[in-house]
Amino acid sequence: MEAGGSVGAGGEQAEDTVANQGQRQRGRFQVTCPGLFVYHCAVPDLDYHISSGMFGCILVEPEGGLPAVDHEFDFDSMAMEAPTYVLVNGEKYGIGPQGYNDMVMETDETARVYYGVGGPNLFSSFHPIGSVWDEVYPQGAIMSDPHRYVQTTPVLPGSAMVGTLTSPVPLPIKLVDHALSRVARKGCLAVIDVQGEADPTIYDPNPA
């Protein structure tokens, strides 16, 4: 582990925090510099780990704390289950043409989607606009038989699903929560850009 904001917890010292499967490691460090610092893993393939979300931030406040601000996290809205945003991967429209970029696949390829809902309160009606789920493993139960050709699958708070899909024609597949105000108003959208040759026998946008 490389702990930002600390002296010693990084570089060669990162080996002190390496834990193999079934093991546990502990350490202690003193923070001496106020600021907001990133921590992340320091193992081989660390870019893969970090891109999979294995990082976080440490806020070190100065003595006496920071001055008050006008806006902070709205606990009342959370308690009333009325969030300002409903997001995929933590960013409004982050995976798609309005964000970083689309996920890309070719026609007739199979994509596997892993989708978890942390909540804390809302459940998701997970739906691929422009396609159907070829296979769905509810509750992430990959050792069970999958449901086949599913339009929309519910994913409860604290649960997950695994789904596969293909497309014989090029199009943007939009992964959404079918409570569609969450898509149009609150940011819950990710896009898979399917590229390849058109097949009018499957889909013809301009029939004669």
pLDDT in tens, 46-105: 788 787 777 888 888 999 998 988 877 888 888 888 889 999 988 899 898 878 777 999
Tokens of 127: 């739906």
**Alpha helix positions (H), the chain:** 46-51, 75-79, 181-184
- Classify burial at 112, counting beta carbons within 10 Å of its beta carbon; exposed 0-12, middle 13-18, buried 19 or more: exposed
Extents of the domains making up the chain: 2-60, 80-195
pLDDT digits (tens, 9 = 90+) for 91-112: 899 898 878 777 999 999 999 9
State which fold the 80-195 domain adopts.
Answer: Immunoglobulin-like (2.60.40)
Q: Taking the complete model, does pTM exceed 0.75, yes or no?
A: no
pLDDT for 17 equals: 73
Measure the CA–CA gap between 78 and 72, rounded to whole angstroms: 12
The proportion of the chain whose per-residue pLDDT surpasses 70, expressed as a percent, equals 95
Per the listing, tokens 């834990």 go with 19
The distance of Cα 173 from the centroid of its chain, to the nearest Å, equals 17
pLDDT digits (tens, 9 = 90+) for 100-146: 777 999 999 999 999 999 988 999 999 999 999 999 999 999 999 99
What's the CATH code, domain 2-60? Answer: 2.60.40.420
Other C-beta atoms lying within 10 Å of the C-beta of residue 83: 15
**Residue 105 counted as an annotated binding residue:** no
Are both 2-60 and 80-195 of the same fold?
Answer: yes
Measure the CA–CA gap between 10 and 1, rounded to whole angstroms: 7
**Residue 147 counted as an annotated binding residue:** no
**Residue 178 counted as an annotated binding residue:** yes
CA angle 173, 178, 180 (to 5 degrees): 100
